[in-house]
Structure 1
Amino acid sequence: MKIISVETFLVPPRWLFCRVATDDGLVGWGEPVVEGRAETVRAAVDELADLLLGRDPRRVEDLWQLMTKAAFYRGGPVLSSAVAGLDQALWDILGRSLGVPVHQLLGGAVRDEVRVYGWIGGDEPAEVAEAAAAQVAAGLTAVKMNAAGRVNRMPGRAEVAEMVSRVAAVREVLGDSRDVAVDFHGRFGVAAARRVIPELAPLHPLFVEEPVLPEYSHRLGDVVSATTVPVACGERLYSRAEFLPVLQAGIAVAQPDLSHAGGISEVRRIASLAETFDALLAPHCPLGPLSLAASLQVAFSTPNFLIQEQSIGIHYNVGAEVLDYVLDREPLAFPDGVIRRWESPGLGVEIDEDAVREADRKGHRWRPPVWRHDDGSFAEW
């Protein structure tokens, strides 16, 4: 079996899909993308295709080593994301060639269902309580919200009180039997995070996410030591090497993204590394159906798994939805807050190739918003 083609598709609202085809008719799909840099990742995938064409797609680890190391300059979000999507497609082909789901190839299932959560926003003072109620009505038992929108890196008393009141409003809707996670999105400084997180502690967040920017990971231990609330991070970390210091700092939850952190191959290793630090895995996934399917395959087979993010209905999805590109939506349904394990081969989702090719003809040019503080200076989004 040999790889004969690698194609990419720029699909709305903000995703990039890749299709890897073989000479015996097997096809694998993946999702290589950096949100807001999809065209750049597309170019990286095209370059990496030179390493794949003519090779046996079933040698997944060997090809991963080539894609990540067969160049003098390595790593970073663009290259790691390009590798991630291609790696997903290779695992998809391997599973389909053997007639088994990817989780069987990762050692077999350790659970029958995966708990998922949904996003309710919170960037601005808004009706987060109503949004939480809508997610509960959809069947979810956990939600995630932003701690704040535009916020000073050293927020004042009124800003802190506003954050606490929004989380409190969501907690009131959820009650004690459901969970809320709070995403700081790297918008705070270290000192501010140390001040704000203890204020949220009485509301029992499941975790607080990315309390500081990844470039300040060397200060994360100071944040962890200031609170009993579990600290999570990882969506902007791309390898085991980058996860090691934050695990050493004491994070409770590792959040690698299957479309950023080297795909299934690297994330399963990150999960194993996290287990040695008694940390749990909660893959980041505000993306499309292939990224979600890859995340679920890892979740099905990972002992130290906590919860899975999914973006069905997320406010970023303008013009297209997660399920618009799959032929059978049932496997990704979560009527009671969980997605049940399936045994379909490969990643376990069937892509509507006609819909994907039509979407690519339209394409997209999604960019994240650019925020400014009241004084005109740049604000973290």
Structure 2
Amino acid sequence: MRISRIETFLVPPRWLFVRVETDDGIVGWGEPVVEGRSETVRTAVEQLSELLIGQDPLRIEDLWQVMTKGSFYRGGAILASAVAGLDQALWDIHGKSLGVPVHQLLGGHVRDRIRMYGWIGGDEPAEIADAVEAQLSVGLTAVKMNASGRMKALGSVAAINEVVERVAAAREVLGPHRDVAVDFHGRFTLADTRRIAPLLEPLHPFFLEEPTVPENSHLIGGLTRSTTIPVATGERLYNRQEFLPVLQAGIAVAQPDLSHAGGITEVRKIASLAEVFDVQLAPHCPLGPLALAACLQVGFATPNFLIQEQSIGIHYNQGAEVLDYVLDKTPLKFVDGYVERLTAPGLGIEIDESAVRIADKTGHNWRSPVWRHDDGAYAEW
């Protein structure tokens, strides 16, 4: 069996899919994308395809090594994401070739279901209670919210109090038996995260996410040592080497993205490294069905897996939804806040190829928003 054809599809709302076909007709799908840079990743996939055409798709580790190290200049979000989607597709092919789900190839399942959470925003305080209720109504038992909108380097007393009030509004609806995670989204300085965290402790957040921008990961220990709230990070870290310092700094939750951090092959290794530090895995996934399915496959085979993010209904999804490109939506259905173990071969979902090809004709040009403070200076989004 050899790889004979590789195609990419730019599909709304902001995703890129890759289709890898073998000479005996097996098709694998993956999701290689950097939000706001889909076209750039598409070019990277096309270049990496030169290394894959004609190769044995079942030699996943070897192909991963070649894709990540086959150029003198390595790493970065674009390359890691291009590799990630292709890697997902190769695992999809491997599972389909044997008639088993990917988690079976990773050592078999260690759990029967995976807990899920949904995103509720948080920038607009008046909407929080209704947004939480909406997520509970579809069966979820955990949500994540932004701590704030744009945030100055040192927030005012009012701005800090508003963070606490928003989280308190969510906690009031959720009660003591459900969870709210709080995403700082890299918008806060370390000084402000250290001011806010003690104020949030009585509300018992599930975790505090990305309390500093990834280039300042060397500072994160200053927060983990000063709060009892579990600290999470990793959506903008792309390999084990980048995760090692934050694991050593005392984070509690590692959040690699299966479409950014080298795919199933690398995230599986990140999970094992995290286990050494007693750290739980909760993959970042505000993307489409293939990224989600890849996360779930890793989760079913990973002992230190905590919970899974998903983007059904997220505000980014304008013009298309996660399940729009899936033929059978049942495997991704929530049951009491969980997704049951995927049992179909490969990634465990069947892509509607016709819908994907039609969507690619429209494509998208989604870009991250550019925020500014009231003095005109750039603000972290």
Confirm or deny a common fold (TM above 0.5). Answer: yes
- Partner in structure 2 of residue 262 of structure 1: 262
Q: CA deviation at 1:126?
A: 3.6
Q: Distance in 2 between matches of 1:342 and 1:376?
A: 49
Give the Cα–Cα distance (whole angstroms) in 1 for the partners of residues 110 and 88 of structure 2: 20
Q: Residue 79 of structure 1 aligns to which amino acid in structure 2?
A: L
Q: 1:343-362, CA deviations, whole angstroms, 9 ceiling, x for partnerless residues?
A: 11000110000000000000
Letter in 1 for 2:184: F
Q: Secondary structure at the match of 1:312?
A: coil
User: What is residue 332 of structure 1 aligned with on the other side?
Assistant: 332
Is 2:186 the partner of 1:177?
no
Equivalence for 1:293: 293
Deviation at 1:154, TM superposition (A): 1.1
Counterpart-to-counterpart distance in 2, 1:154 and 1:181: 22
- Aligned partner of 2:153 in structure 1 is 153
* 1:177 shift after superposition: 0.8
Displacement of 1:227 in angstroms is 0.2
User: Within 5 Å, which residues of 2 pair with 1:122-133?
Assistant: 122-133=122-133
Deviation at residue 207 of structure 1 after TM alignment: 0.1
State, as a whole percentage, how many aligned pairs show the same letter. Answer: 72
Corresponding letter in the other structure for 2:197:
I
TM-score, normalised by the number of residues in structure 1: 0.99
- Alignment-derived partner of residue 365 in structure 2: 365
User: What's the offset of the Cα at 1:336?
Assistant: 1.3
| Residue of structure 2 equivalent to 1:63 | 63
Q: For each residue in 1:157-198, what CA deviation from the matched residue of structure 2 results, as whole angstroms up to 9, or x when unmatched?
A: 110110100100000000011000000000011111111111
Q: Who is 1:10 aligned against? A: 10
Secondary structure of residue in 1 paired with 2:318:
coil
CA distance in 2, matches of 1:218, 1:69: 25
The Cα shift of 1:245 comes to: 0.2
Query: Deviation per CA, 1:176-223, whole angstroms, max 9, x where unpaired?
Result: 110000000000111111111111110000000000011111111001
CA deviation map 1:102-126 (0-9, x unaligned): 0000000000000000000012334
Unaligned runs of 5+ in 2: none
- Give the whole-Å Cα distance in 2 for the aligned partners of 1:183 and 1:288: 20
Which position in structure 1 is the counterpart of 2:347? Answer: 347
Aligned pairs (5 A) from 1:176-255: 176-255=176-255
Deviation at 1:151, TM superposition (A): 1.1
Tell me the alpha carbon deviations over residues 12-35 of structure 1, each in whole angstroms, 9 at most, x when there is no partner.
000000000000000000000000
Q: CA deviation at 1:46?
A: 0.2
Q: Give the aligned residue type for 1:333.
A: K
- SS of residue matched to 1:127: helix
Query: RMSD of the alignment, in Å?
Result: 0.6
Which residue of 2 is the match for residue 28 of structure 1?
Answer: 28
Query: 1:165 is matched by which residue type in structure 2?
Result: E
Task: Give 1:301's aligned amino acid.
Answer: A
Q: Does the aligned pair in 1 maintain the 2:143–2:181 contact within 8 Å? A: yes
Instruction: State TM-score, norm by structure 2.
Output: 0.99
Say which SS state the counterpart of residue 163 (structure 2) adopts.
helix
* Segment of structure 1 superposing worse, 168-177 or 151-160: 151-160
- Does structure 1 conserve the Cα–Cα contact (< 8 Å) formed by 2:8 and 2:19? yes
Is the partner of 1:122 in helix, strand or coil?
Answer: coil
Distance 1:368 1:2 in 2: 38
Residue 96 of structure 1 aligns to which amino acid in structure 2?
K
Distance 2:343 2:121 in 1: 33
Match in the other structure for 1:274: 274
Aligned to 1:144: 144
Q: Is the 8 A contact 2:297 2:342 kept in 1?
A: no
Unaligned runs of 5+ in 1: none
Q: Distance in 2 between matches of 1:113 and 1:26?
A: 28
Structure 2 CA distance, aligned partners of 1:6 and 1:123? 40
Q: In 1, Cα distance between the equivalents of 2:231 and 2:123?
A: 20
Amino acid at match of 1:245: P
Would the alpha carbon gap of residues 126 and 373 (structure 1) be closer, same or farther in structure 2, given more than 3 Å must change?
A: farther
Please give the alpha-carbon distance, in whole angstroms, between the structure 2 residues aligned to 1:149 and 1:190: 17
AA of the residue aligned to 1:326: V
Offset, 1:73: 0.4
Letter in 2 for 1:246: V
**Alpha-carbon deviation of 1:342?**
2.1
Q: Partner amino acid for 1:60?
A: I
Q: Does 1:323 align with 2:323?
A: yes
**Distance in 2 between the 1:147 and 1:129 partners?**
15
Moved over 6 A (4+): none
Report the residue type matching 1:321 in the other structure. Answer: E
